[in-house]
Amino acid sequence: MLRTRTLIAIAIGALALTATPAVASAPAGNPPDGLVKAMQRDLNLTEEQAKKRLVNEQKAGRTAPGLAKRLGADYAGAWVEGPESTLVVATTNPSQRRVSGAELRVVAHSMAKLDAAKEALDKAADKAPKTAPVWYVDVPTNSVVILSSVPADAEAFIAASGADKALIRVEQSSEQPVPYADIRGGDAYYIGSGSRCSVGFSVTKPGTNGGFVTAGHCGSVGATTRGANQQAQGTFRGSSFPGNDYAWVEVNTSWTPVGVVNGYSAGIIPVNGSTVAPVGSSICRAGSTTGWHCGTVQQLNTSVTYPQGTVNEVTRTSVCAEPGDSGGSYISGNQAQGVTSGGSGNCSSGGTTYFQPVNEILSAYGLTLVTGGGNPPTGCQNYRETYNGSLASGANQYQPNNSYYQSTVSGTHAGCLDGPSGVDFDLYLQKWNGSSWATVATSDSPNPDESISYNGSAGYYRYRVHAYSGSGSYTLGVNRP
């Protein structure tokens, strides 16, 4: 059900982050190896510098607020600088000799003045040219900065805003920011000059940015898409209609596939698998025209003939739909079922709809369903904490959240790995021995799912998830003492 008239774009809402347990503070002098190595790589530091930065930055975060209060109206900002993150605080008072816990610098403009200048620009934001998309308070240079590809345009913006020009400097820049957004089932997307369909489910595929599955009649291979926010989104990489009615769209790097469906009035619905619901099961659909509606599965393996031809092996339901809902998500509980193909009737008087089963689409294009948007899969349902990730073949990830946790008592550490079908993922429990991480328990069967139970003493622990072969998304369930 493809909507062919141009509609007003809807904004993508921010996805609430799933709360995760707090991670214990790092052992003194022994931050996680992965964190230190990443800092060495990305900040061009030595190992010693990286470790000192971590200590100094934590201290700076505690010290800076007190310095701001102590300096009062003379305060002009605080920052850290140098390879080891030395704390610097600025003041407009030349008689101020020293402050405890930081290097002191005397500057011309107070923080209050800089903030006022930026506020003037903020209030005139509707007059900002597209060539000047970014402005900010830059405390190390004691100024407000506007980034602009055409400096003259930025100067005109300053004049129109009424801000104090003496506090503002313009920097030549080609920066043109665009919003990042999540791919969620049920959200709108646009094809070509304005036709609209709905996202089915987020997927990944090795060697690509990932994307989503949808209806084949929504677009042909090579067609480009825009998201609900009207920003460039992706390209149809596969499409089949009639005979089938499925397609997949690879998204660009501004979009992140996540394992959820936008349930509109029902809220955000987690996707935790794709087990087929039997006839008679309740099932709900999300689409960008009519939102969230439910019904029952009436028949599997149905053939339906549209004016364009016959589509085989679709599922018939009592859920209503309307033009623009095409491609949208059918889900039963937290199990993905398929994408909207077509039907009859509407959501005012009722109707019958057909969906293309999602497992057939995944198989046809070698895709992996993105899961883990809420509760853990049924295989790990009894675990108190869950962590989600995605691995390429041969890669490793460390949980929780690329860090570790502290156990202050002895007891059982239990881990449950639920990986995608057709891969071999392994699970390792590691403990910090004072100088390195040592593996204390292993589960490395030739399967996607693994489990560990280890009775250990107090200390610092982490899980290593390894993709021995294959790639895709996983969920790790964790119980700890």
- Active-site residue, 326 included: yes
Q: Which of 198, 326, 329, 443 is catalytic?
A: 326
Q: Which of 74, 182, 187, 245 is catalytic?
A: 245
Q: Which of 217, 390, 426, 471 is catalytic?
A: 217
Q: 62: Cβ–Cβ under 8 A, 6 or more apart, which residues? A: none
CA-nearest of 134, 205, 138 to 174 is 134
Q: List the beta strands (DSSP E) in 178-322.
A: 181-185, 188-191, 195-198, 201-204, 211-214, 224-227, 232-240, 246-251, 255-262, 268-270, 282-287, 291-306, 309-317
- The shares of helix, strand and coil residues in the chain, as percent rounded to the nearest 5, are 20, 45, 40
Q: What angle (nearest 5°) sits at the alpha carbon of residue 23, between those of residues 22 and 26?
A: 145
Q: Quick one: residue 72, left, alpha or beta (phi over 0 = left, psi -120 to 50 = alpha)?
A: left
Q: 479: Cβ–Cβ under 8 A, 6 or more apart, which residues? A: 383, 384, 385, 412, 413, 414, 415
- Active-site residue, 245 included: yes
Q: Are 24 and 406 in contact (CB under 8 A)?
A: yes
Q: 65: Cβ–Cβ under 8 A, 6 or more apart, which residues? A: none
Q: Are 314 and 357 in contact (CB under 8 A)?
A: yes
Distances (CA, A) of 48 to 29, 30, 37, 259: 10, 11, 11, 39
Q: Which residues are catalytic?
A: 217, 245, 326
